[in-house]
Structure 1
């Protein structure tokens, strides 16, 4: 349950109106929780971050969202406070607010994803700084071996899968090429999991907080790698998708950093049980179908 004090802080600072029902816990992601607020002025999604959030970064992603919305991309409207801030710092977390969107249970089609990404890449929003290491730097052989050794020593049930994937993970890192600054622009950087069908029958793109500098073709390659057998339909909808192995650099870097992040979290006894369980689930999922050099070549063959 959200405390009355925190709920009042949100409704007052964002001018949402009085709650008509208590806040409802709606969802949990890796970086935060989402609450549904029903008030006299409407229905709102209140995001409670579990990681540090800088106001300047939040302002930057909201500016990108407005640019995307102006170009016709479907997304929930971000809400600013009555004194024009994006975030509010609560006792234990940073909060921000969006208009609420009712979602349908059916997933977005691969062609929908490709088409939406093409429309998003047509929004030439300037990047705020260079591409961060999470999206550009490989983990490296030393870090991979250290991670595998630690997992094996801890008796983690996913350690054998990590050990089996290790040669491919190390080989993948050799494919990573630094970003070309001239091609970098602001991208969403967290598709396809955040494209959903709405209850009204359309599509909506959620969770723009991770948006930032990236090369569009590398975001496309990451999407196609994630879709597997459905990738050709997404590529056809995107149009003119001519990719090379180096275009998977972002997908490779993100996979490596995610595996390390989830492994460290799963092995940390100080983490809450819920966090460790979620991390183990994500590790099992990624290691069941990791991106590999052979997988990249096969995917490129299907697109040629």
Structure 2
């Protein structure tokens, strides 16, 4: 991980991607779970230099960029990915893998898009029908399982989130029973991280869809179900804007398994003294938020009714 993008790294990025002469040092802009973003202004424009916080293979980056370009061609607004002069998506800097997008100015004061806007945008994205690259991976397909849930609960002894996990543990274990394997005939490429934090208003007004690095094989109706759960009271409005899709309990499979894997991931990170203070603090905040409103069998029933 790069604490500060050095002048040397910035020069390497501008040269490899052909961005033109840098007008100043890169400026830290934001971070998510998969990467940190730096703004770089050059003679040719402004760019988002994204530093990966997890290992990234070039072939995987090429795959998500192919999906992004297909989505853009279908009218989905997004920051345009930039290739190096020799056609690569990523370059390696000291301690990190980097990639570049065109910079998009966001209006964070405008708040998140409405449920109807999110439903309509997801419907547009699902018209892309980009072929899946392989089967659905375990993170999006396989439930945590009862043994892993109880192991997580045991590890939480004394942690700030122990009580909240204990309250919901039985429901979380029971929820795994709703999970069904993906249907290969229905799997296509999906965003897989589509929610209000990743759809933002730009300074010019229109929406833009962000953070495509998690995209990959999934079923569209399962992505829709995850969005409806995320929206809560706005679910009906989003579903109507999407096109009135009829869902069944198995369609929440991806939301169920991702919730389980995330709780396990954040739990392990929060308890790992080798992790940075920032990562442990972020993980504890995520655990608190997720366990304050977890997806449960009763929540699935409520959404379906």
> So what's the TM-score if we normalise by structure 2?
0.97
Identify which of 273, 294, 300 aligns with 2:298. 294
2:121 is paired with a residue whose SS is: helix
Count of matched residue positions in the alignment of Structure 1 and Structure 2? 299
Aligned to 1:161: 164
Q: Say what the alpha-carbon RMSD is for the aligned residues.
A: 0.6
Equivalent residue for 2:236, pick from 226, 232, 254? 232
Unaligned runs of 5+ in 1: none
1:241-284 per-residue CA deviation (whole Å, 9 max, x = no partner) reads: 10000000000000000000000000000000000000000000
**Structure-1 residue corresponding to 2:29:** 26
Match of 1:41 in 2: 44
CA distance in 2, matches of 1:100, 1:218: 31
Query: Secondary structure of 2:274's partner?
Result: coil
The answer to whether the aligner puts 1:127 opposite 2:132 as a matched pair is yes
2:142 counterpart (131, 134, 137): 137
Partner of 2:257: 253
Which portions of structure 1, spanning 4 or more consecutive aligned residues, are displaced by more than 3 angstroms? none
CA deviations 1:130-153 (Å, max 9, x no partner) are 00111010000000001100111x
> Deviation string for 1:119-138 (max 9, x for gaps)?
11111110000001110100
Instruction: Give TM-score, length-normalised by structure 1.
Output: 0.97
Deviation by residue 1:181-240 (Cα, 9 ceiling, x = unmatched): 000000000011211111100000011110000000000000000000011110010013
Give the corresponding residue for 2:115. 110
1:30: Cα distance to partner?
Answer: 1.0
Deviations 1:85-119 (A, max 9, x none): 00001111100000000011221111110000001
Query: Which residue among 183, 186, 191 is the counterpart of 1:188?
Result: 191
Match of 1:100 in 2: 103
